[in-house]
């Protein structure tokens, strides 16, 4: 492996099936993920977690806190501060209810997986401490979906601080994947007084790392990552402080990136438009006429 690009062995077979029309793509579930930043004496670092190798999707890969949208967050009254739902709808390219659900997912998943909460008692405040048995019980209820995010905020007398988020990118899982997500990436700065912790059952390690160090680890093949993670890390490197990254967020392109696959002789060519570094040429082990054995899950070579 020349770098740490995550590449499941079953992809060639699924790509071939999609090309042949025998695989029907599943719908992509809306999701949100947050690149949580903090400034240090040696530069700005981003919070990342390593997914457990036992995970069916991207096991062993480094990623950011995030997850799927909770349908209950799309139309409930949520305590809200910052840009309006209409503003977010325009920025994200969706309707207002969907925009609310996506922003709620970003804040909720960050809290569920790292213990950091982008909310406060008022529009200009942020909670400073989310530790304690009562907080943990409610966080666990959120994870189990026994408690909606709107109910959680209401119980605590908090408002969601949407102004602490900046929309950064949007990537959609390829059509040949069994689990698909339409994911919006956000940036946010670690609120003063709060600390991250590994609160996720899906991660076995968390790190604070500079974007440059993370990318260097990927380039060496030491850190396994998916293309969206690498691409967003590279783009973050241009902004030396968390404040500068947040200030740059409104100018970031949210045109969705969706991988494309095509057959070229006995190779599958997998590409992400606008991100040529991730292009893969996968030997199928199958001659151009479609006969022979598959090299997908057992012997297909990627380069």
Q: Decide if pLDDT at 147 tops 80.
A: yes
Least confident of 67-76, 232-241, 287-296: 287-296
Average pLDDT over residues 250-277: 89
pLDDT at residue number 57: 61
Residue 287 reports pLDDT greater than 60 = no
pLDDT given for residue 152 in this prediction: 94
pLDDT at 295 over 80: no
Model confidence band, residue 56 (pLDDT cutoffs 50, 70, 90): low
Q: Does residue 296 carry a pLDDT above 90?
A: no
Reduce the DSSP state of residue 278 to 3 states and report it: helix
| Residue 283 reports pLDDT greater than 60 | yes
**Cα separation of 30 and 23, whole Å?**
21
Structure-block tokens of residue 279? 């292009």
Within the chain, residue ranges assigned H as helices are 11-20, 85-92, 96-114, 133-143, 149-156, 211-220, 227-236, 242-248
**pLDDT at 286 > cutoff 70:** no
Lowest mean pLDDT among 10-14, 28-32, 141-145: 10-14
E-strand ranges in the chain read 29-40, 43-51, 62-63, 66-68, 80-81, 119-120, 159-161, 166-172, 181-189, 203-209, 257-258, 260-264, 267-271, 280-283
- Which segment of 123-127, 190-194, 213-217, 283-287 scores lowest on mean pLDDT? 283-287
Q: Who has greater pLDDT, 290 or 39? A: 39
User: What values do phi and psi take at 53, rounded to 5?
Assistant: -65, -20
Give percent of the chain with pLDDT exceeding 70.
87
Q: What is the pLDDT of residues 210-234, one digit of tens each?
A: 999 999 999 998 999 989 999 999 9
- pTM equals 0.88
Task: Report the CATH architecture of 25-252.
Answer: Alpha-Beta Complex (3.90)
Distances (CA, A) of 128 to 37, 118, 120: 16, 10, 9
Q: CB within 8 A of 6, min separation 6: which ones? A: 58, 60, 61, 224, 225, 226
Band (pLDDT 50/70/90 cuts) for residue 291 is very low
CA gap 86, 73 in Å, rounded = 15
Q: What is the mean pLDDT of the chain?
A: 86
Q: Which residue has the higher pLDDT, 296 or 246?
A: 246
Residue 264, beta-bridge partner list: 267
- Of 29-33, 54-58, 292-296, the one with minimum mean pLDDT is 292-296
Domain ranges of the chain: 25-252
Q: Is the pLDDT of residue 99 over 90?
A: yes
pLDDT beyond 60 at 204: yes
Please indicate whether residue 52 or residue 105 has the higher confidence score (pLDDT). Answer: 105
pLDDT in tens, 157-202: 999 999 999 999 999 999 888 889 999 999 999 999 898 876 666 7
pLDDT at 281: 85
Residue 270 pLDDT: 87
Report residue 3's pLDDT band, with 50, 70 and 90 as the boundaries: confident
């Amino acid at each position: 492996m020349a770098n740490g690009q995550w590449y499941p062995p079953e992809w060639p077979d699924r790509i071939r099936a999609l090309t042949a029309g025998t695989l029907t793509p599943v719908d992509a579930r809306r999701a949100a993920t947050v690149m949580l930043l903090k400034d240090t004496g040696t530069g700005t670092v981003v919070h990342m977690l390593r997914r457990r190798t036992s995970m069916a999707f991207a096991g062993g890969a480094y990623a950011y806190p995030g997850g799927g949208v909770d349908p209950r967050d799309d139309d409930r009254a949520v305590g809200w501060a910052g840009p309006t739902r209409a503003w977010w709808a325009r920025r994200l390219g969706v309707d207002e209810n969907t925009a609310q659900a996506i922003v709620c997912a970003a804040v909720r998943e960050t809290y569920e997986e790292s213990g950091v909460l982008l909310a406060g008692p008022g529009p200009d405040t942020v909670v400073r401490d989310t530790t304690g048995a009562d907080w943990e019980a409610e966080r666990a209820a959120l994870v189990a979906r026994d408690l909606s995010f709107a109910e959680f905020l209401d119980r605590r007398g908090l408002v969601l601080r949407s102004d602490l988020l900046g929309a950064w990118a949007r990537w959609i899982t390829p059509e040949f994947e069994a689990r698909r997500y339409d994911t919006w990436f956000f940036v946010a700065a670690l609120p003063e007084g709060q600390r991250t912790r590994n609160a996720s059952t899906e991660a076995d390690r968390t790190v604070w790392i500079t974007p440059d160090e993370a990318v260097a680890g990927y380039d060496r093949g030491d850190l396994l990552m998916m293309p969206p993670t690498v691409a967003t890390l590279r783009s973050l490197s241009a902004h030396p402080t968390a404040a500068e990254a947040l200030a740059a967020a409104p100018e970031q392109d949210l045109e969705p990136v969706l991988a494309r696959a095509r057959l070229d002789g006995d190779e599958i060519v997998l590409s992400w438009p606008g991100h040529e570094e991730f292009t893969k040429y996968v030997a199928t082990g199958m001659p151009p006429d479609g006969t022979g054995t598959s090299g997908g899950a057992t012997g297909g070579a990627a380069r």
